[in-house]
Structure 1
């Protein structure tokens, strides 16, 4: 994905506020061999780009002052209740240096799996993204995982998944066998409530007592 940025000379709260009022979003690009550089971007174009998953997980091409460079989106600050970007950070990347990036996981085929189709189990996506290490050219926009063979009572770990060529998982103390991606839960069975016992039959009403008969005079 490609976007255009412009050089920004002024910094500070007041300058950033004026930029936002003018429909711009302030930002910065840093890392690599160059010095950190203040930039500004068209706010509406950036807002639309941020809605795309690939903008968050891909190597981007930034055009700045007529030159193109490869960057990664590193941070976005958004107003707490307005649709307004307050600041954005980009990191320069080198084609020869590995990068760390979180990549979305896309699951497919679970409705056709024996666990769902036959056993009516519930599928729990434990992980929705995976941190990976790779060269920029090998970075995938997402990783698709097939769940069509899931069985009742099983789990899917990272050991069961073939990652794209050149891509390694960053496990941070975990093992591939212990890093659970998906778990299968048995369906919940609602127990039938016991039928209420029949109410005891009401006792027959007692006959009214006969009035006492007095002596005739």
Structure 2
């Protein structure tokens, strides 16, 4: 079972740009809750509390319990609007979830034991994480806050594919249902020389016609 994360909210009685601006000045975040069989509801949240919560992976990938005077609604964060240069959250969108229906959402990947792997111990090997999150499909009760990938056996030249990720019970990767070509690399361990050669720009070639004219002079 995933951890429970309760967030207290208040109903937002007045909407509009002016009202939202006043809320932000007062230290609150305007937000909306939608989905399910209920109508959308405008709410507001304490900015400092949400800012602290937003520093954690679980805020983006877990089922959240929004508490409105004790009335709990289970939701997923679907959108966050940030200020372009200030440390301010401008608006949040939450979607209600049905505990009996499967959902799809992105979950962060956590890579462990890389430093102690054969590839990690090699000075001339570069280990790249091609993906930092994956989209999963599962019931809300099975949704993991993150998925660990154990790299303790990662060899030099090794590749970890999507299909090799060990998933919690009840969790699937819908991408793998689309065909073998979607079984992409998640982690790649390359020699540093190979990595440099792959990134180096190709040398410019002089057209044969120009070489011939030069020789004629």
Instruction: Provide the rounded CA distance (Å) in 1 between the counterparts of 2:180 and 2:110.
Output: 21
Instruction: Name 2:187's counterpart in structure 1.
Output: 182
- In the alignment, what sits opposite 1:56? 60
Structure 1: tracts of 5 or more residues without a match: 191-217
Pairs within 5 Å for 1:73-84: 73-84=77-88
Q: Distance in 2 between matches of 1:134 and 1:176?
A: 23
Tell me the equivalent position of 2:22.
18
Higher share of residues assigned helix: 2
* Number of aligned residue pairs: 190
* Length-normalised TM-score, structure 1: 0.82
Q: Distance in 1 between matches of 2:43 and 2:172?
A: 32
Does residue 45 of the first structure (1) align with residue 42 of the second (2)?
no
Other-structure match for 2:139: 135
In 2, Cα distance between equivalents of 1:67 and 1:136: 19
Q: 1:111 aligns with which of 112, 115, 118?
A: 115
Match of 1:144 among 137, 148, 164: 148
Larger radius of gyration: 1
Calculate the TM-score normalised by the size of structure 2.
Answer: 0.82
Shift in alpha-carbon separation, 1:23–1:186, aligned structure 2, 3 A: same
Q: CA RMSD in A?
A: 1.9
Aligned residues of 1:23 and 1:43 also touching (Cα < 8 A): yes
Q: Distance in 1 between matches of 2:168 and 2:62?
A: 15
Find the residue that maps to 1:159 and give its secondary structure. Answer: helix
1:65 to partner: Cα distance? 3.4
Contact 1:157 1:176 in 2 (8 A): no
What is the CA-CA distance between 1:118 and the residue it aligns to? Answer: 4.8
Q: How far apart are the structure 2 equivalents of 1:188 and 1:98? A: 45
1:8 deviation in Å? 0.8
